[in-house]
Amino acid sequence: MSCLFSVVSQSIFTRIVTLKSTKAIWDFLKQEYEGNERVKGMQVLNLIREFEMQWMKELERVKEYSDRLLSIVNKVRLHGTEFSNTRIVQKILVTLP
């Protein structure tokens, strides 16, 4: 429990200090930081929108651009949403200057 207490902010600490077990603290933190399904869905939609709005900059290298796109895609995948490699390649090819 002391490990969990030591890594949270003061505002979160005051909310978890009264919990009796490590499991209860972990469940609270998981709910607090993960959010519910609706929040996750909105985060995924925002990330997909961000992906779709990306364009390669004039002086940007293909590697830098693909890394930027993959960063967004990895965030989408972390939420458990499928994102095909074909879609990434198409995006890169269509948006090359």
- Domain boundaries along the sequence of the chain: 2-34, 37-95
Res. 67: pLDDT tops 90: yes
Comparing 24 with 40, the larger pLDDT belongs to: 24
Give the tens place of pLDDT for each residue, 80-92. 899 999 999 999 9
Integer Cα distance of 1 and 73 in angstroms: 34
38/20 Cα distance (integer angstroms): 29
What is the four-CA torsion angle of 37, 38, 44, 45, rounded to 10 degrees?
A: 160
